[in-house]
Amino acid sequence: MLQDLINNYGDFGDALITEIHYYNGYDFFNNTFGSQTLKISISCFNKNRNYDQELITIYCDEVSRFIYEKWDGMIFEALLKEENGEFILDFAHESSHPYFIVKCKKITYEVVAQK
């Protein structure tokens, strides 16, 4: 799935993060913790569709690390890789400051809309 993201969107150049939803896995009614999940919506350009604009949602499951510091959400160069059994998404790779990094065990995505 990660390779599909890279094949279609490259390093997400000139993309915009439109929404982030984090769930820490806490079940209020049973007072238990489950898997941490993260949903990231991104307006980006599909290089295999003549750089047409798409809105995609990336789902990260079994999140082990999540760093987010508010910034304008523009992506200039993202780093997407698999390392030691984890997927790493570093959306501010060009910066020396870690604005938005996710490490997780599972990753999927869907195309929500196309222009």
pLDDT tens digits for range 23-34: 999 999 999 999
Nearest Cα to Cα of residue 12 among 51, 38, 68, 59? 51
Mean model confidence pLDDT for the chain: 92
Record the pTM: 0.90
Q: Please, which pLDDT band fits residue 76 given cuts at 50, 70 and 90?
A: confident
- Count each helix (H run) and each strand (E run) in the chain, helices first: 1, 9
CA angle 56, 60, 62 (to 5 degrees): 170
CA atoms within a 13 Å half-sphere pointing along the CA-CB vector of 42: 25
Summarised one tens digit per residue, pLDDT across range 31-49 is: 999 999 999 999 999 999 9
Q: What is the DSSP letter of 75?
A: E
